[in-house]
Amino acid sequence: MRQNAILNALAPASGARVLEHGVLVNLALRQQVYESEQPIHDVYFPLDCVLSVVARMRDGSQIEIGTIGREGMSAFPLLMGASATANVCYCQVRGSAIKIPATLFHELTATDPAFRQLLDRYLQAYVNMLGQLAACNRLHSVYERCARWLLMTRDRVETDQLPLTQEFLAMMLGTGRSGVAIAAATFQQAGFIKYSHGTITVLDRPGLENAACECYEVAREQFDGLLRDVPGYRRPLVNGDRA
pLDDT value for 132: 84
pLDDT value for 136: 85
Q: In this structure, which topology does domain 5-134 adopt according to CATH?
A: Jelly Rolls (2.60.120)
> Which CATH architecture does the domain made up of 141-212 adopt?
Orthogonal Bundle (1.10)
pLDDT value for 166: 76
- Confidence tier at 243 by pLDDT (50, 70, 90): very low
Share of the chain above pLDDT 70, in %: 92
CA dist 18 → 35, 83, 94, 137, 221 (Å): 24, 20, 22, 37, 28
Tens of pLDDT, residues 156-214? 887 899 888 777 788 777 777 788 888 888 999 999 999 888 889 999 999 999 999 98
Burial of 65 (0-12, 13-18, 19+ CB in 10 A): middle
- C-alpha R_g of the chain: 18
CA dist 229 → 8, 9, 67, 200 (Å): 8, 8, 21, 29
Nearest one of 120, 123, 212, 165 to 29, comparing CA atoms: 165
Measured at the alpha carbon of residue 78, what is the angle toward residues 31 and 224, in degrees to the nearest 5? 75
Share of the chain above pLDDT 90, in %: 39
Query: For the residues 128-146, what does the mean pLDDT come to?
Result: 86
Under a CB-based contact definition with an 8 Å cutoff, are residues 130 and 65 in contact?
A: yes
pTM: 0.85
The residue extents of the domains of the chain are 5-134, 141-212
